[in-house]
Homo-oligomer: A and B are copies of this chain.
């Protein structure tokens, strides 16, 4: 896991160089008048999809949402995807329900983009455009380099859907991202301190909003599957809408702050937690070179990988092969 995490600057740098070409292919594959976008994924890829969904809707100015594979594989949905863009994300390109769903969508008019690490997979074969993450083989069970590569690929695809404000996606800023991720990886002090203090907890909440909400979901999944800590990722808005009542001094909260327009929400939640006596820590790597929210979200995802791994090591778990997990899941 550590070795694959360390490859991220190189993986992201190589992918960055291919983003203009990817965006061009996406532009060529779009319907004349886009009606909406659907992203389909499971697990870590699903969290990358939540991240991409914000960028897609803001860039295309058409509704973007997450698809549910069971609609096709269990309920036999015959959804008409005319004028829709469907983006499927699967590291292996082999998750059966994702492949089945994409094939059905293509038969019914969807333009398909596959974001995958396996350019010769069944998923890639079903797509009009393949966004190959080319992250190299991922051996450790917890997905790391493939997730941040998926996120960057989604940034590239989104730029083909329409303009995005520079505080969200900024090409100059993206060029800094590989080095920034290198800095995050090199700085382990904050993570070690957090793990020393927090790894003993059996439960924790990881909260963010917007792009930071997607990072929170991914961070929680990574912590859960790597360390066995029962971490729950949640949107700050959803947390305030109810579950905050179930928190106590025994359930600390990791706050994900990726900057941007949801940063005040994080600050407000922090005040509320202080008032209620609930322990919290904020994950927000100090990266002055990165000003755009999408780049900061990717760098913060790397920070949470470090946290997940540090928790696992502190708890005596093997971060490379957590109990009960296989690399390719065969849900269909």
- State in angstroms the CA–CA spacing of A165 and B35 once bound together: 27
Determine if A241 and B324 form an interchain contact, defined as CB atoms under 8 angstroms apart.
no
- Nearest chain B CB to A200 CB, angstrom units: 15
- State in angstroms the CA–CA spacing of A60 and B36 once bound together: 15
Q: Of B38, B66, B97, B221, which one neighbours A242 at CB under 8 angstroms?
A: B221
- Nearest chain B CB to A199 CB, angstrom units: 14
Residues of B within 8 A of A325 (CB): 242, 244-245
- State in angstroms the CA–CA spacing of A127 and B79 once bound together: 26
Query: Chain A, interface size: which category?
Result: 35 or more
Give how many copies assemble into the complex.
Answer: 2
Residues of B within 8 A of A63 (CB): 36, 38, 65, 67, 79, 81, 84
Most chain B CB neighbours (cut-off 10 Å) among A66, A276, A324: A324
Encode A245-267 as 1/0 by CB contact (under 8 A) with B. 11110010000000001100100
Residues of B within 8 A of A247 (CB): 324
- Nearest chain B CB to A38 CB, angstrom units: 5
Residues of B within 8 A of A80 (CB): 61-62
Determine if A71 and B58 form an interchain contact, defined as CB atoms under 8 angstroms apart.
yes
CB of A281 closer than 8 Å to a CB of B: no
Q: Which 3 A-B pairs have the closest CB atoms?
A: A65-B65, A245-B324, A43-B241
